[in-house]
Structure 1
Amino acid sequence: MGRPKERGGAVLEKLERELMLLSRHQVLARRERDPERLERSAYVLLSRIDTQGPMSIGQLSEAFGLDTSTVNRQTAALLRCGLAERVPDPDGGMARKLRITEEGGRRLAEDRGVNQSCLARVVANWSPEEVRQLEDALVRLNRSAEALEGRHWPRTEEDGAPATPAP
């Protein structure tokens, strides 16, 4: 039996590999199966605006930890495609904000539906408890990463309580 540090390293190595593979599957599903699907950056930006409401370029830059020029390029693509629009700040601030258009909302909902349908096929042979355990573990992993980065992703769950860790 190896030392605890060695065992932990092997576990982290496997975890890192599985997360890399998971991200690979998502990218392939998004681009190769349907060219009408949103690009990853568009999907993530629209998801954040959908969850939080209209946001300025500065707020998006801070939320994602990205340079303003990067967010400007990504949001310019959303504007060109008619997926988002600039609106006055609903709170009366000076900066204009980005809001999802009807078309952007439709495309985001469509992509979410496809993603959920793909997930349903992946976990079709899992028990509801196994699916719940995976959800709880992923929520915990994401919240831990958010805490380290100091960037919270708002969630729409009614209770807002952290997922309970799996036993």
Structure 2
Amino acid sequence: MLEKLERELMLLSRHQVLARRERDPERLERSAYLLLSRIDTQGPMSIGQLAEAFGLDTSTVNRQTAALLRCALAERVPCPDGGMARKLRITPEGRRRLDGDREVNRACLARVVAHWSPEEIQELEDVLVRLNRSAEALEGRHWPREEEGGTSTACHPPVPGASAPRAT
């Protein structure tokens, strides 16, 4: 029963990878895109918070964030709430590049679903939200969403699983 779903998800990720191969050198690497997206949604975050959010070792996140700092896509700032930890915040260049990538991604999606009805697009969005929330619940790692008021400058990320998934 899950064979077709697994295959279709594999193909979906393949299509995204192929699109990135043909990209402009201005496009962000996948890890940079993901890190900047999380910081954008949640607000400034420490390396430890990012490691926890992604379920990665801090040394891995440290290497990835070092690349963001070298490229001036993020900068270190004091904790907005006055804590001792240094946080990573998106720079204007990081914002420009992230917004540019999002616009390209949305334009590509618009071409893919150009002949779909608004109802079909909404149905796919709802199913993907449900799939992602189910995966997040199993991992114990909630990805804050802007529609949930995800943008925050708090030093402590939301407690994983604190928001119950929406029934669809």
Per the TM superposition, whether the score is higher than 0.5 is: yes
Q: Is the partner of 1:87 in helix, strand or coil? A: strand
Distance in 1 between residues matched to 2:166 and 2:94, nearest whole Å: 30
The alignment of Structure 1 onto Structure 2 pairs a total of residues equal to 155
- Residues 164, 134 of structure 1: CA spacing in aligned structure 2 closer, same or farther, 3 A cutoff? farther
Alignment of 1:53-72 (within 5 A): 53-72=43-62
Deviation at 1:25, TM superposition (A): 1.1
Distance in 2 between residues matched to 1:153 and 1:115, nearest whole Å: 19
The amino acid across from 1:153 in the alignment is: W
Q: Is the partner of 1:97 in helix, strand or coil? A: strand
Alignment of 1:71-110 (within 5 A): 71-110=61-100
Distance in 2 between residues matched to 1:163 and 1:85, nearest whole Å: 35
Equivalent residue number for residue 138 of structure 2 = 148
Task: Tell me if the contact between 1:136 and 1:163 (Cα under 8 Å) persists in the aligned partners.
Answer: no
Report percent identity of matched pairs: 86
Deviation at 1:94, TM superposition (A): 1.2
Q: Does 1:119 align with 2:109?
A: yes
Q: Does 1:37 align with 2:27?
A: yes
Task: Tell me if the contact between 2:134 and 2:165 (Cα under 8 Å) persists in the aligned partners.
Answer: no
Deviation at 1:31, TM superposition (A): 3.0
Specify which of 14, 17, 28 is matched with residue 7 of structure 2: 17
Deviation at 1:30, TM superposition (A): 1.9
Alignment of 1:156-167 (within 5 A): 156-157=146-147, 165=168
The amino acid across from 2:23 in the alignment is: R
Deviation digits for residues 116-164 of structure 1, max 9, x if unmatched?
A: 0000000000010000000000000000000000000000015889565
For structure 1, the residue ranges without an aligned partner over 5 or more in a row are 1-7
Specify which of 118, 121, 141 is matched with residue 128 of structure 1: 118
Q: Is the partner of 1:86 in helix, strand or coil? A: strand
Q: Once structures 1 and 2 are overlaid, which stretch shifts more, 75-84 or 31-40? A: 31-40
**TM-score, normalised on structure 1?**
0.88
Runs (4+) off by over 4 Å? 158-164
- Residues 130, 61 of structure 1: CA spacing in aligned structure 2 closer, same or farther, 3 A cutoff? same
**TM-score, normalised on structure 2?**
0.88
Q: Is the partner of 2:88 in helix, strand or coil? A: strand
RMSD of aligned alpha carbons:
1.6
Deviation at 1:76, TM superposition (A): 0.3
